Amino acid sequence: MITRRRFASGTLAGLGAAALAPGIISPAAFAQGDYPNATIRAICMFPPGTGADIQVRFYANKLQQLCGRNVIVENRVGAFGNIATEAVARAKPDGYTIYIAPGSSVLAAAPHLFNKLNYDPLNSFDHITTLSRVAFMFCTSTNAPFKTMAEMTAYLKEKGDTASYGASANTGVVAAALYKAAFDLKTVHVNYRTPQLGFAEMEKGQLAFYITDPGTAAAYINQGKVRPLAMSSAQRMKANPDVPSAAEAGIPNLDVVAWWSVHTPAGTPKPILDKLEDWFNRITRDPETGKFLAKVGGDIFPGNTASMRALLIEEMKAWENYVKIANIQKL
């Protein structure tokens, strides 16, 4: 595992008078106090042009406006996000490499999805704050013989293993598996390379439902091809107020919500962490951010370093259980 020792926040204060001549400022203290004085890299695990990439670029642009320095997005795609995550873990902990990512399905899930990681999801990073929350959406074709989650559940019980469904990303796979387990459904999961292929099959009547993020489903809903049945969250999401929560739809104990967060390599000096935490929470509370997230089906989710770390620990335990229920094999 890659680990880095956190720099003591009192580095400068701990230096004796003999170590520094009067009036001389150490290079480290200057770099922290003047941060940022160079371009910041925002690492993105998704390909350019995707919805997730657009989200990273939104935050990067907002950060650039606040910090007064260029913030460029660097796409590191592949290995289910591990290439990007490992690149951040190995970067210099100086505040000039940041990671904007879905921490719930990347860092929290990683130990339970992969046999070997070249980083420690908890300790290879300083966890700045949370940014947003996105619940996934159970969708069906408007031509389906059911119109509610309860009606679909009855239909799937009757069909047994002759019915099938699709799911996007780890969050969708897990939420669907928990739904099946709640009602002892035998519905078969079919993997699709893209959600678009899954929606095309659903429109033909080949799938009973597809579960994906609201941003992906929005175009199909607006075209009248898809009907949203429920969210994967226990409570309604502000971005999708007309779609029932899992609890309202009669699915017990289902509350799987993806959350985005920002991180730096472990050992980043505390003054820099404090600046980043403040900037990102200012971005999160900006009305423009709320409007942007609403378009992709997300809700703002401000936090801080302490709450971020506590949430990650909690979610790592939850994902251990999710993966067992969903019977996901480690890679």
What element of type H or E holds 321?
helix 305-326
Task: Encode pLDDT of 122-170 as tens digits.
Answer: 999 999 999 999 999 999 999 999 999 999 999 999 999 999 999 987 7
Burial class for 188, CB neighbours closer than 10 Å (0-12, 13-18, 19+): middle
Q: Report how far residue 254's alpha carbon sits from residue 234's, in angstroms, rounded to the nearest whole number.
A: 6
The pLDDT of 180-202, averaged and rounded, is 91
| Phi-psi group of 267: left, alpha or beta (phi > 0 → left; psi -120 to 50 → alpha; rest → beta) | left
Q: Report how far residue 133's alpha carbon sits from residue 331's, in angstroms, rounded to the nearest whole number.
A: 27
Asked if 107 contacts 82 with a C-beta cutoff of 8 angstroms, the reply is no
List helix spans (H) across 141-194: 149-159, 169-183
Residue-wise over 209-230: b if at least 16 C-beta within 10 A, else e? bbbbbbbbbbebbeeebbbbbb
Q: Report how far residue 276's alpha carbon sits from residue 271's, in angstroms, rounded to the nearest whole number.
A: 9
What's the pLDDT at 28?
45
Mean confidence (pLDDT) of the chain: 88
Question: Is the model's pLDDT at 21 over the cut of 60?
Answer: no
More confident residue, 271 or 53: 271
Q: What pTM did the predictor assign?
A: 0.78
Other C-beta atoms closer than 10 Å to the C-beta of 270 total 16
27-134+258-326 CATH pick, 1.10.10.60, 3.40.50.1980, 3.30.1490.20, 3.40.190.150 = 3.40.190.150
Q: Report how far residue 169's alpha carbon sits from residue 232's, in angstroms, rounded to the nearest whole number.
A: 13
Q: What share of the chain is helix, strand, coil (3-state, %, to 5)?
A: 40, 20, 40
pLDDT category at 195 given cuts 50, 70, 90 is confident
Q: Report how far residue 24's alpha carbon sits from residue 52's, in angstroms, rounded to the nearest whole number.
A: 45
Query: Hey, is 83 helix, strand or coil?
Result: helix
- Domains of the chain by residue range: 27-134+258-326, 137-231
The two structure tokens encoding residue 218: 């929005």
Structural fold of domain 137-231: D-Maltodextrin-Binding Protein; domain 2 (3.40.190)
What's the pLDDT at 33?
66
Question: Is the model's pLDDT at 32 over the cut of 90?
Answer: no
Task: Encode pLDDT of 196-217 as tens digits.
Answer: 899 999 999 999 999 998 988 9
